[in-house]
């Protein structure tokens, strides 16, 4: 521990026969960062993580950790701790023995004894006193905390987490993700986290990489990626969004006017020229039922989902689905309004 552990992936490619799992991934994870790979099933998240861990030899490109090339370095010599989706605890060993197994290839850091190290880690993951328990008697969340303690036991410079919470129920997942984040911050350990759950990614990460079809679409802080998606895919993958495409009718330093299905929409200034096609998006929470704002759409309300703190309205505008967040659920036809400043231009 204490060593610098930034991770650099350069033009990483992985092919399985005719399947291209990674089509040239470039990423830099900073030392001490909680970095999340998020994207739909099959987009290459796990393959990326396996290349960093050393379980997968890339077909092309390279992985460096702390500036050291990892080609040919076996997993146990990389200084990484890994936690997988399914609880990989040994059923015939106690909780304490499982954590101690993490020290099979390495002495405990800081010159402490094995028993002390095991006790410290169980304390860290809030499982003190469970040393003698059989993993079969633990809840799913407890087992994943033991798996985390085992991964951390040798003091890795890098923690890799592959959907560690996906088998848990929603409430427990929320609790555990907060705990994992706190532990990560306490240890300042560089962490690469894989999830398909966009809400989870936004909630815990310093930065996220949104992946699609073996490529990285965008990297950034959660709020930046949410507010300013670089591509239509990112706009639609992270949270609800309304994506509209139109033709530029006017473009000045004050803003652009777009023709979308015969309606004029004002959007922020951008470097598009008159006649260009432009794709923009506006979040459901920025649409106001009743029509406040420079832009107005008359939408037909289809269905409403009551979400507790808000209601999600599924509407239709000129044959295009439009999602609106509202504090009531109107029926029939309503006007929704929004300001040009709340529109994000994708390009
Ligand atoms: P999920 O969220 O479903 O786990 P993922 O984003 O982690 O998905 P990967 O597991 O990295 O995706 O898989 C990327 C692509 O590579 C997929 O098309 C998958 O079918 C393919 N793939 C992964 N492992 C193999 C393998 N051993 N042999 C053949 N194809 C594979």
Residue of the CA atom closest to atom 28 of ligand 1: 16
**Which residues make beta-bridge pairs with 81?**
159
In the numeric block, which tokens belong to residue 298?
């008359």
- Hey, which of 13, 15, 16 would you mutate to test ligand 1's pocket, going by the most ligand atoms within 8 Å of its Cβ? 16
Cα 304 off chain centre by: 28
Indicate the length of the chain as a whole number. 347
For the chain, 347 residues long, give each residue's pLDDT as a single digit of tens: 447 899 999 999 999 999 999 999 999 999 999 999 999 999 999 999 999 999 999 999 999 999 999 999 999 999 999 998 876 899 999 999 999 999 988 888 888 999 999 999 999 999 999 999 999 999 989 999 999 999 999 999 999 999 998 888 888 889 899 999 999 999 999 999 999 999 999 999 999 999 999 999 999 999 999 999 999 999 999 999 999 999 999 999 999 999 999 999 999 999 999 999 999 999 999 999 987 899 999 999 999 999 999 999 999 999 999 999 998 888 999 999 999 999 999 99
Q: What are the DSSP E strand ranges found in 190-282? A: 190-195, 207-212, 215-220, 242-252, 255-260, 263-267, 277-282
Q: Which atom of ligand 1 is nearest to the CA of 16?
A: 29
CA of 209 to the centre of ligand 1 (A): 17
Q: Which atom of ligand 1 is nearest to the CA of 46?
A: 7
Q: Is the CB of 47 under 6 A from ligand 1?
A: yes
Contact 198, 237 (CB under 8 A): yes
22, 62, 320, 339 from 345: Cα distances, Å: 28, 34, 18, 13
Phi, psi of 341 (to 5 degrees): -65, -20
pLDDT at 284: 96
CA of 21 to the centre of ligand 1 (A): 6
DSSP state of 272: P
pLDDT at 87: 65
Q: In the chain, what are the domains?
A: 7-236 (3.40.50.300), 240-345 (2.40.50.140)
Residue of the CA atom closest to atom 17 of ligand 1: 42
pLDDT at 2: 45
Q: Is the CB of 252 under 6 A from ligand 1?
A: no
| Among 157, 114, 214, residue whose Cα is nearest residue 4 | 157
Cα(220)–Cα(136) distance, integer angstroms: 40
Cβ partners under 8 Å of residue 327, min gap 6: 310, 311
CA of 330 to the centre of ligand 1 (A): 43
Contact 267, 255 (CB under 8 A): yes
DSSP letter for each residue of 145-181: HHHHHHHHTT--SEEEEESTTTTS-HHHHHHHHHHHH
Which SS3 state, helix, strand or coil, does residue 185 take?
Answer: helix
Q: Which H or E run includes 296?
A: strand 295-306
Question: Is 0.75 topped by the overall pTM?
Answer: yes
Sign of the dihedral defined by the CA atoms of residues 32, 5, 145, 155, in that order: negative
Which SS3 state, helix, strand or coil, does residue 28 take?
Answer: strand
Phi, psi of 205 (to 5 degrees): -90, 150
Contact 334, 288 (CB under 8 A): no
Q: Is the CB of 42 under 6 A from ligand 1?
A: yes
Cβ partners under 8 Å of residue 36, min gap 6: 192, 193, 194, 195, 200, 201, 204, 205, 207, 208, 209
Cα(121)–Cα(79) distance, integer angstroms: 17
Contact 231, 217 (CB under 8 A): yes
CA of 19 to the centre of ligand 1 (A): 9
pLDDT at 107: 86
């Amino acid at each position: 521990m204490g060593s610098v552990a930034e991770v650099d992936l350069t033009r990483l490619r992985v092919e399985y026969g005719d399947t291209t799992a990674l089509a040239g991934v470039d990423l830099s994870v900073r030392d001490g960062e909680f970095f999340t790979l998020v994207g739909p099933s099959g987009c290459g998240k796990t393959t990326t993580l396996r290349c960093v861990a050393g379980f997968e030899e890339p077909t092309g490109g390279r992985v460096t950790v702390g500036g050291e090339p990892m080609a040919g370095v076996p997993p146990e010599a990389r200084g990484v701790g890994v936690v997988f989706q399914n609880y990989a605890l040994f059923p015939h060993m106690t909780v304490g023995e499982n954590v101690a197994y993490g020290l099979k290839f390495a002495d405990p850091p800081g010159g402490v004894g094995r028993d002390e190290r095991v006790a410290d880690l169980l304390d860290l993951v809030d499982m003190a006193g469970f040393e003698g328990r059989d993993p079969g008697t633990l809840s799913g969340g407890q087992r994943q905390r033991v798996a985390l303690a085992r991964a951390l036991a040798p003091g890795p410079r890098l923690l890799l987490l592959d959907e560690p919470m996906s088998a848990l129920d929603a409430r427990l997942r929320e609790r555990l993700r907060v705990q994992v984040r706190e532990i990560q911050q306490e240890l300042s350990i560089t962490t690469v986290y894989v999830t398909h759950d966009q809400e989870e990614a936004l909630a815990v990460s310093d930065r996220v990489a949104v992946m699609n079809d073996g490529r990285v679409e965008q990297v950034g802080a959660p709020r930046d990626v949410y507010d300013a998606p670089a591509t239509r895919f990112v706009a639609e993958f992270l949270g609800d969004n309304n994506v509209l495409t139109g033709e530029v009718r006017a473009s000045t330093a004050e803003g652009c006017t777009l023709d979308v299905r015969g309606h004029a929409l004002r959007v922020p200034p951008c470097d598009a020229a008159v006649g260009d096609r432009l794709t923009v998006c506006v979040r459901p929470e920025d649409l106001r039922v009743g029509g406040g704002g420079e832009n107005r759409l008359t939408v037909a309300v289809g269905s409403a989902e009551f979400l507790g703190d808000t209601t999600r309205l599924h509407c239709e505008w000129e044959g295009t689905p439009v999602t609106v967040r509202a504090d009531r659920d109107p029926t029939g036809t309503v006007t929704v309004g929004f300001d040009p400043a709340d529109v994000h231009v994708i390009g």
